[in-house]
């Protein structure tokens, strides 16, 4: 399959809502045995590909467990953000098109920043 057909197709994709629900279930331990859940969440915490996406819109040092995805003109990031009070927020952002990858990354960071502002308790 060529990349243009891949981008149009639904056979290898998901929605932001579906990935967010899956991440919430994973985090609650509803999908896998605990050692496997911990392994995946630790790998997501160590993710190094998302520095300009969700993580860029959050205060430095915020605990984030995310998974990025990029195919041609599509950039995605979905993750679990630990808020200052210890609660968690799941955010999934999928961006298609736009001027370039940097613009898509900035859009994802902007959504993360808005989510932080809306849900992080103020001191």
Domain-embedded: residue 7: no
Residue 33's domain comprises 14-119
Q: What is the pLDDT of residue 120?
A: 93
Q: What whole-number percentage of the chain has pLDDT above 70?
A: 89
Query: For the domain that residue 42 is a member of, what is the CATH number?
Result: 3.40.710.10
71 assigned to some structural domain: yes
- CA–CA separation, 120 vs 21, rounded Å? 20
Domain count, the chain: 1
Task: For residue range 25-77, list pLDDT tens digits in order.
Answer: 999 999 999 999 999 999 999 999 889 999 999 999 999 999 999 988 899 99
What would the pLDDT profile of 74-116 be if each residue is shown by its tens digit?
999 999 999 999 999 999 999 998 779 999 999 999 999 999 9
Residue 86 lies in a domain: yes
On whether the CB atoms of residues 67 and 78 are closer than 8 A, the answer is yes
> What residues pair up with 46 in beta bridges, in sequence order?
none
**pTM beyond 0.85:** yes
Q: Indicate whether 87 belongs to any domain.
A: yes
Question: Which strands form 74-82's sheet, in the order they lie side by side?
Answer: 64-71, 74-82, 88-96
The answer as to whether 4 is a domain residue is no
H or E element that contains 79: strand 74-82
Going from the C-alpha of 19 to that of each of 40, 69, 78, 84, 105, the distances in angstroms are: 15, 12, 7, 24, 18
Is residue 9 assigned to a domain? no
Question: For residue range 1-30, what is the model confidence (pLDDT) as tens digits?
Answer: 566 666 666 566 789 999 999 999 999 999
In a domain, 113, yes or no: yes
């Amino acid at each position: 399959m060529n990349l243009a057909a891949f981008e149009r197709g639904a056979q290898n994709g998901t929605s932001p809502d579906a990935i967010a629900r899956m991440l919430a279930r994973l985090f609650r331990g509803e999908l896998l045995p605990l050692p496997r859940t911990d392994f995946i969440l630790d790998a997501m915490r160590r993710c190094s590909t998302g520095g300009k996406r969700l993580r860029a819109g959050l205060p430095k040092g915020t605990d984030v467990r995310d998974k990025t995805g990029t195919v041609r003109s599509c950039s995605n990031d979905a993750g679990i953000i630990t808020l200052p009070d210890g609660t968690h927020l799941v955010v999934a952002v999928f961006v298609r098109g736009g001027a370039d990858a940097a613009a898509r990354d900035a859009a994802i960071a902007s959504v993360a920043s808005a989510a932080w502002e809306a849900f992080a308790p103020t001191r």
